[in-house]
Amino acid sequence: MLVAAAADLAPLEAPLAQAFARVGGGKVRFVLGASGLLTRQIEQGAPYDVFLSANEEFVTELVRGGKLLPGSVRVYAHGGLGLWSPGGAFRTLPDLLAPRVLHVALPNPTHAPYGAAARQLLRSQGLWSRLEPKLVYGENVRQALQYAQSGNAEAVITAWSLLLRLPGAVLLPDSAHPPIHHAAGVVRGTPHERAARRFLDFLTSEAGRRILADNGLTPAQ
């Protein structure tokens, strides 16, 4: 079974696949990417069985277009944003205004929900226009982090699920940006519909919710 998954789920790929296999669910393979780009691929007929989006609107869009089975759709988690810099040099968003910060990495707001949320967060703090000249965009949350890890940016604002185990990472307040609702659905026409539905049931089960919580996501109620 092939799962198209938002890139912030990278740390959950192995735990979810292994746990699902242990309960007899079968083999799962993940393709990770920006939710907006995965949405376009599904619209064009990519052979995915399940879509795990970091944005509820993309799932709604695919349901309207007849690409996902409406009865399978559910919000399964909520995400958060974090700030990270090598050595924990920068701990707050205003710290990024320092002259020695030449570049700040963000996921591309056009197709990465975490990038759109980061942009809104910076605007709400009155920092967007001042930081915009420093911003460099990764195609997804993982690429944005790689910019900072490689030294091509002094700091990164990206998905908390990618940062929570990195020394110096700071969880940013979620009250200043729209909620990041993770939603899922079964792709219409999949030959593995039964397995796909079982996977989504597992994702929202106690075991699945524990994996989500252990990796920086808040399971949906």
Shared domain for 15 and 36, answered yes or no, is: yes
What six digits make up the tokens of 83?
């700030």
- Please tell me whether residues 69 and 86 are part of one structural domain: no
Q: Are residues 12 and 93 in the same domain?
A: no
Assigned token pair, 16: 């979810």
The H or E element that residue 184 is part of is: strand 180-186
> How many CB atoms sit inside 10 A of residue 110's CB?
12
Pair (165, 131) in one structural domain: yes
Identify the pLDDT of residue 175: 78
Task: From first to last of the 221 residues of the chain, give the pLDDT tens digit.
Answer: 999 999 999 999 999 999 999 999 999 999 999 999 999 999 999 999 999 999 999 999 999 999 999 999 999 999 999 999 999 999 999 999 999 999 999 999 998 999 999 999 999 999 999 999 999 999 999 999 999 999 999 999 999 999 999 999 999 988 778 889 999 999 999 999 999 999 999 999 999 999 999 999 999 98
64 shares a domain with 117: no
Same domain, residue pair 85 and 163: yes
**Both 31 and 85 in a single domain?**
no
18, containing H or E segment: helix 13-22
Q: How far apart are CA 32 and CA 13, in angstroms?
A: 9
Instruction: Determine the pLDDT at residue 136.
Output: 98
Q: How many domains does the chain have?
A: 2
Which of 134, 153, 171 is at the close of a domain? 171
d(CA 207, CA 198): 13
Asked if 75 and 184 sit in the same domain, the reply is yes
How far is the C-alpha of 167 from the C-alpha of 161, rounded, in Å? Answer: 13
Residues 25, 195: Cα–Cα separation, whole Å: 7
pLDDT at 104: 98
pLDDT score for 84: 98
User: So what's the pLDDT on residue 176?
Assistant: 76
Q: Do residues 164 and 87 share a domain?
A: yes
Domain of residue 135: give its range.
Answer: 81-171
- Do 189 and 161 lie in one domain? The reply is no
Give Cα separations from 54 to 5, 32, 98, 189, 194 (angstroms): 8, 11, 31, 22, 23
Provide DSSP, 43-79. HTT---SEEEES-HHHHHHHHHTT-B-GGG-EEEEEE
Structure confidence at residue 169 (pLDDT): 97
Q: Are residues 163 and 118 part of one domain?
A: yes
The CATH number that applies at residue 116 is: 3.40.190.10
